[in-house]
Amino acid sequence: MTKQMKKQRGFSLAELLIVVAIIAVLATVVAMNMGGSDTSAKEAKLRANLKILREALIAYHADHGFFPASPNDYNSSGDQKIFKRQLTWFTDEKGRVSTKKTDRYRFGPYLQKFPENPFFTDPDSADYVEINTTDERILERLILAVKRMNGNNGWYYEARSGNVVPNLGGKVFPDKYVEF
Q: What Rg value do the Cα atoms of the chain yield, rounded?
A: 27
Cα dihedral sign, 161-165-170-174: negative
User: Residue 133: which residues within 8 A CB-CB, separation 6 or more?
Assistant: 69, 70, 71, 76, 77, 78, 159, 160
> Which amino acid, residue 6?
K
Q: Distance between CA 130 and CA 80 in Å, rounded?
A: 8
In this predicted structure, what is the pLDDT of residue 166?
Answer: 85
Q: Distance between CA 152 and CA 135 in Å, rounded?
A: 20
In this predicted structure, what is the pLDDT of residue 4?
Answer: 60
In this predicted structure, what is the pLDDT of residue 119?
Answer: 82
**What are the residue ranges in the chain where pLDDT is below 70?**
1-9, 32-37, 148-151, 169-180
In this predicted structure, what is the pLDDT of residue 178?
Answer: 66
Contact 83, 131 (CB under 8 A): yes
In this predicted structure, what is the pLDDT of residue 14?
Answer: 77
| All structural domains of the chain with their residue ranges | 13-179
Q: Are strands 155-158 and 90-91 parallel, antiparallel or unpaired?
A: unpaired
Q: Distance between CA 146 and CA 179 in Å, rounded?
A: 10
pTM of the entire structure?
Answer: 0.74
Coil vs helix vs strand at 91 = strand
> Which amino acid, residue 14?
A
Q: Residue 127 CB: number of other CB atoms within 10 A?
A: 19
In this predicted structure, what is the pLDDT of residue 177?
Answer: 63
